[in-house]
Amino acid sequence: AGLEQVRKSTVIRRALEAFSDPDFIRVLQEGDTTGSFGASLDEFIRHFPAVKDEVMDEIIAMLKRVLEMGAADSPLVALNPGNTFLLRSARDEELRHHLDDLYGMMLESVTTFLEGLLEQHAQSEAFMQRDGWALIVRAVRSPLLPFSFIKSRTFESLHGLSSTLLDTSQEGVFKVLFAELQEGVRKPTICDDSSDAASYVALADPSALSAAEYAALHARLHNTTSVVVATALITYLVNGSGGGSLARCVKDVADIMPIDDFVQLVRAMCSAYYGGAQKAVAMEHVISTLPSAGDAKKADGAAGAASSAKGKGVEGRAASQQAMDIDESGSAGIEAFKRANCLILGEVAIGLTIEAGDFVECMSNSLGLGAKRDDSGGGSSSGTSEDAKVSGPLVAELVAFVHRVLELCEGVERTVVGAQIVDQVMVAVMKTLVFARHRIYLKLPVLTAFVDEGGLERFCRVLESVWAWAAELPAED
């Protein structure tokens, strides 16, 4: 009788509605409110298993409402847009200090609640069967998440939830993450932009962009952020549970995606590293040369410089770059909103380069992955008669990646930034060819193929040519 009264009262549905209600965002952030609620609901389900299915259905409905709140036209935007856009004026900089990432807070409450709820295998299994994990992962596509999302408490909670679910279904967790990453790399990112590193730096002053250009830039930045998040979750889980090798987490690549799609995804992530490395190093250098915040207040003439530059016929992004007036000495001033944009652009480019590099390293540790093929030798299939290794296609992609990033060193400018690019590339090359946490021989096929193609001689030539000028560069302050 008591259970029927609970059902008729719809109390569980009403409680779950709080997770998608803007009025409850801050309340749910207090203490361990959501985690305790999740653990209590888990206890309720275990004592009354008859309600398990309907409770899980209500949770899935709640997740769908939360996803809707992450849309570009969400009511959260009117309440507080959060740190989700590049600043275009000093006024934007003043508003920035009053912005809160409401959608990130909402997601944190949800993931913390789910961590408490899904500790038991029976609950987490039911959650996975209803595609609950896929709904959570889709939330990282939201344009309402900050560019620094990977450093947020919400990401930590998301990572914790993924680790919990990994004990239930490794293949299920990785299948969703790889599908999300595949979807992300198909969309425009900062690496698809044909502009060079200098033009990317110049975007720190987006005031010269049209409304359409400004919107397109944000679409690329937000999609890059979602790619970074999906990649980070994959590499963190592989490093945590597989010792750096995906082959220790899933028996067959066919369990997460067709082999051809998998190889194409590895190729896309190699390209992401290549496309982001120069921009990441350039932004990192700019950030390191920025004057202190106190000194920046003295730079009131920066806006005048922009106007003067346009008056002399310097247009578009070139004008923006000249207005920033950033040189290697780091003595120039910069307006506060441009400084904030430098940090945002750096966050995105550096995050992508680091995570893409870690992903490539994981793949070079995963040459033992199997892949089931069908009788025709085409894509993977559940009805299979032959097992194959993905090592052949993977080795080819990884060797091509090493050769391509070496191109960055061969054409690099003889500057401090150029030397930093060489540093980044050499670390990536060594992680791909040599470095490993254990069983270094797993990387041997990549190193052997690279040597057979004359790669070792090329590698040594690059090092020798760089050493000729990099050793004479003055040390940075």
pLDDT per residue over 198-252, tens digit each?
A: 888 889 999 889 999 999 999 999 999 999 999 999 999 999 887 888 988 888 8
- What is the pLDDT at residue 1? 55
Q: Flag the least confident range among 60-69, 425-434, 465-474.
A: 465-474
- What is the pLDDT at residue 89? 86
Highest-confidence segment of 84-98, 158-172, 277-291: 158-172
Query: pLDDT tier at 39 (50, 70, 90 boundaries)?
Result: very high
Q: Nearest CA to 178 among 249, 252, 262?
A: 262
Per-residue pLDDT for 473 more than 80? no
- What is the pLDDT at residue 358? 93
E strand spans, 46-124: none
Q: Nearest CA to 205 among 94, 101, 88?
A: 88
- What is the pLDDT at residue 197? 83
Q: Flag the least confident range among 18-27, 210-219, 465-474.
A: 465-474
- What is the pLDDT at residue 267? 95
pLDDT cut 70: percent of the chain above it: 83
Q: Nearest CA to 71 among 59, 84, 61, 58?
A: 84
State how far the alpha carbon of 346 is from the alpha carbons of 170, 318, 322, 415, in Å.
33, 19, 19, 19
In which element (H, E) is residue 399 found?
A: helix 391-410
- Helix, coil or strand: residue 339: helix
Rounded to whole angstroms, the Cα distance separating 340 from 105 reads 22
Across 18-44, average pLDDT:
93
How much is the pTM? 0.85
Task: List phi, psi (to 5°) of 127.
Answer: -65, -45
**For residue 206, what is the DSSP state?**
G
Q: Over the stretch 405-455, which tens digit does the pLDDT of each residue have?
A: 998 888 788 888 888 888 888 889 988 988 766 566 778 889 999 999 999
Q: For 412, how many CA atoms within 13 A lie in the half-sphere containing its CB?
A: 30
Q: Over the stretch 133-165, which tens digit does the pLDDT of each residue have?
A: 999 999 999 999 999 999 999 999 999 999 999
Those residues with Cβ within 8 angstroms of residue 105's Cβ, 6 or more apart along the chain or in another chain: 25, 26, 28, 29, 154
**For residue 298, what is the DSSP state?**
T
- What is the pLDDT at residue 243? 80
Those residues with Cβ within 8 angstroms of residue 22's Cβ, 6 or more apart along the chain or in another chain: 69, 75, 76, 79, 102
Q: Over the stretch 371-390, which tens digit does the pLDDT of each residue have?
A: 765 444 444 444 443 456 67
Q: Give the pair of three-digit tokens for residue 200.
A: 């990317």
Those residues with Cβ within 8 angstroms of residue 24's Cβ, 6 or more apart along the chain or in another chain: 18
Rounded to whole angstroms, the Cα distance separating 163 from 383 reads 30
Q: Flag the least confident range among 85-89, 367-371, 381-385.
A: 381-385
CA angle 190, 191, 195 (to 5 degrees): 80
- What is the pLDDT at residue 195? 65
- What is the pLDDT at residue 154? 93
Per-residue pLDDT for 325 more than 60? no
Q: Give the pair of three-digit tokens for residue 415.
A: 């500057």
Query: pLDDT tier at 313 (50, 70, 90 boundaries)?
Result: very low
Per-residue pLDDT for 259 more than 60? yes
The owner of tokens 């003055």 is 474
Per-residue pLDDT for 317 more than 50? no
Rounded to whole angstroms, the Cα distance separating 426 from 422 reads 6
Per-residue pLDDT for 129 more than 50? yes
- Helix, coil or strand: residue 91: helix
Q: Over the stretch 101-119, which tens digit does the pLDDT of each residue have?
A: 999 999 999 999 999 999 8
Rounded to whole angstroms, the Cα distance separating 441 from 436 reads 9
Q: Is the dihedral of CA 124, 130, 131, 135 positive or negative?
A: negative
